[in-house]
Structure 1
């Protein structure tokens, strides 16, 4: 085995067929979970046991060796089954990617072993309340050769299901930004399912508290070593969520039209499925979903290039790949958000008033898409793209949110 084997891709159909029966099983319970706000603990356990969290781990370490594009193709298929679960795994796959970009070491290899064993990683980055932009209240305090973590995070997507949590914090003594890798089972860690959004309601988002949580030195990672294309990666997870929602809309509208018995007197056929105007609505939806998925997968390609360039000793190729990753995922975000939001509304043009039945929960597609599309507002992304195209201004690689530092 080479010192640093990389995940360069595998046969996609073979990989996907490992998980498609699980995806179908997950899809069968999605509406019920949505209606009851039942968190998907059991479906996520199925995925853990099947090794889904290790698909990016190199084959030599027991993973599937999937490329980034293949990972996101899988996530789109899973999001078609349940978009909430994909968003719940966002922090996990980002931390896996960070360890894939880490220099070879026993500590890195230990993480690969944890991922292969089924361990999942949650997310603890965002703070709310009286927090100014750029400010981090969550602190890591030195305790001899080790550390202690204290703080609170919101939007802690997936943490309630996780074995570990990837927490953005600062050193209490020198203010340096760090990533604290927290044992989610420690008694000082607590999670609340208090996310109050109207969509993506079973992602396990909400408030996480960290009270005197011990950390070894290996569990505190300098933030400047974080993988460069992280923002593009996080955005791609949301694009996969959106593309998967689009595929679910196409699936559901086709089923509803195919099985509908009632017709309108002003229609163009004696069956709904035979009505050319209804067929046109469904066909337009299918085309828009195709474009959304294609744009998502195309924008994943420069991330794989950035990953490979990381270990190719070509600084300029790595820099350009990271720029491409940020710009291309931004372009995809602008168009995919609009396309999927359109299809989640247009599906009702193919149905009658019965389509808005609460029992069908078809409104969940729009609510979920609107929620995912509200992250990292695309209006700013369009401006960033324009600044790059016109002025060659390199995009920023770390985004932040908080209260304005300016006072009246």
Structure 2
């Protein structure tokens, strides 16, 4: 995929590498502004990079020195990380049963993963598993490791170019330096749940803005004014103007909301680390999680509404396959379906009404 080659060449994948490790040390505000811009151009590319940046965030949160040195260096070299986490046989999304088995001075890994976003385009595949101590770990394997098979079988209605297919692991050899322990997962709150959720909101925001761009272009270049509008050109129709203005406001509001939430996460990370060395403390991170949940509600509604309103600009001709305008709604609906927005709103309400912090599920 040529667009991913362009990402490698741009070094955008190293944005979050800390200055101490030779990177630019960009803030989350900088990162999510970039994600929004990428998603406005192509939401598939932006979404395919979510696991890459997520792995780097894991290292920023609580990675060991050797892991940071090894994998930050890879990111600085333009290498990308894909994802193999989900298991359709698990009772709940996020549950991990894939076992990393000891085999002398190394390990063996077998199993099947779904929703392996970005892995076909990546240099490394980050696989969630449990080790012999029942610790949750990340296994980082090179793309061509024998026994690692990536299948391009994602058939969702949206995100069609994110390569979110199946990963098969057939007795794959794993070496100790390729294992990163997820020490804080499920034990204490980190910023990682908020990061992953805000990434979805940023992509949804980019979709809304892309829909606006298509609406403006179609109204200017292709749409015809309806006979009873009293004007000669679609761009002169007050109702077309209103539609484009409403769509623009939705994208504007979503972007402002996402960046405000990103700033909140940045502030939480700038505070004192916990005694366990994990970035951020519980009160600040709980507050941040509720801000991100609100941003998700706003961005989801903006993307779906803007994608639907686009058709009010061009009439029936806007539904023609050559324009591919339905991609906006399909991509937005697929992203919004990751995590029910109703639960986001409910958790925010519970926090405001009863001071109940968001759950430690990784989805907040």
**TM-score normalised by the chain length of structure 1:** 0.83
Q: Take 2:42 and 2:297, find their aligned partners in 1: how far apart are those partners?
A: 23
Q: Take 2:69 and 2:129, find their aligned partners in 1: how far apart are those partners?
A: 24
Q: 1:273 is matched with which residue?
A: 235
Q: 1:324 is matched with which residue?
A: 287
Q: Take 1:338 and 1:103, find their aligned partners in 2: how far apart are those partners?
A: 35
How far 1:135 sits from its partner (Å)?
A: 5.0
Q: Which of 384, 388, 401 lines up with 2:347 in the alignment?
A: 384
Q: How does 1:2-401 map to 2 (within 5 A)?
A: 41-102=1-62, 105-129=65-89, 131-133=90-92, 135-171=95-131, 173-225=132-184, 228-260=190-222, 262-309=224-271, 311=273, 318-399=281-362
SS of 2:62 mapped into structure 1:
coil
Q: Take 2:279 and 2:234, find their aligned partners in 1: how far apart are those partners?
A: 57
* Cα 1:261–1:137 shift into 2, 3 Å: closer
**Backbone CA RMSD of aligned residues:** 2.1
In structure 2, the gaps of 5 or more residues are none
Q: Take 2:279 and 2:121, find their aligned partners in 1: how far apart are those partners?
A: 39
How far 1:316 sits from its partner (Å)?
A: 11
* Cα 1:312–1:126 shift into 2, 3 Å: closer
SS of 1:273 mapped into structure 2:
helix
How far 1:156 sits from its partner (Å)?
A: 0.6
Q: 1:8 is matched with which residue?
A: none
Q: Take 2:223 and 2:35, find their aligned partners in 1: how far apart are those partners?
A: 34
How far 1:398 sits from its partner (Å)?
A: 2.3
Q: Take 1:183 and 1:287, find their aligned partners in 2: how far apart are those partners?
A: 43
1:101/1:310 contact within 8 Å kept: no
1:268/1:276 contact within 8 Å kept: no
Which stretch shows the higher mean deviation, 87-96 or 144-153? 144-153
* Cα 1:335–1:135 shift into 2, 3 Å: closer
Which stretch shows the higher mean deviation, 177-186 or 89-98? 177-186
SS of 2:226 mapped into structure 1:
coil
Q: 1:22 is matched with which residue?
A: none
How far 1:375 sits from its partner (Å)?
A: 0.7
Q: Take 1:184 and 1:225, find their aligned partners in 2: how far apart are those partners?
A: 27
In structure 1, the gaps of 5 or more residues are 1-40, 401-408
2:14/2:24 contact within 8 Å kept: yes
Q: Take 2:110 and 2:23, find their aligned partners in 1: how far apart are those partners?
A: 34
**TM-score normalised by the chain length of structure 2:** 0.92
* Equivalenced residues, count: 358
* Cα 1:144–1:309 shift into 2, 3 Å: farther
Q: Take 1:373 and 1:261, find their aligned partners in 2: how far apart are those partners?
A: 30
* Cα 1:339–1:127 shift into 2, 3 Å: same
